Copies of this chain bind each other. A is one copy, B any other.
Amino acid sequence: MSLEYAILVSLQERAGSGYELARRFDKSIGFFWSASHQQIYRSLKRMVELGWVAGDAVAQEKRPDKKVYRVSAEGAAELARWLGEPAAPATARNELSVKIRGASCGDVGQVLEEVRRHHRLHAERLAVYRAIEQRDFPEPERLSGRSRHQFLVLRGGIRTEQSMVDWCEEVISALEDEI
Residues of chain A at the chain B interface (Cβ within 8 Å) = 2, 5-6, 8-9, 12, 29-34, 76, 79-84, 86-107, 110-111, 114, 117-118, 121-122, 144-146, 148-150, 152-153, 155-156, 159-160, 162-163, 166-167, 170-171, 174-175, 178
Chain B residues lying within 8 Å of A34, measured Cβ to Cβ, are 91-93
Partner of A90, one of B94, B110, B171: B94
In the complex, besides A32-B92, A103-B149, A152-B170, 7 extra interface pairs with C-beta distance below 8 angstroms are A32-B97, A83-B103, A104-B145, A148-B174, A148-B178, A160-B163, A162-B163
Partner of A87, one of B12, B33, B96, B153: B96
Chain B residues lying within 8 Å of A166, measured Cβ to Cβ, are 159
Given contacts A94-B90, A95-B87, contact A101 B29 (CB under 8 A): yes
A82, A88, A93 interface centre (most CB from chain B within 10 Å): A93
Given contacts A33-B92, A163-B160, contact A83 B99 (CB under 8 A): yes
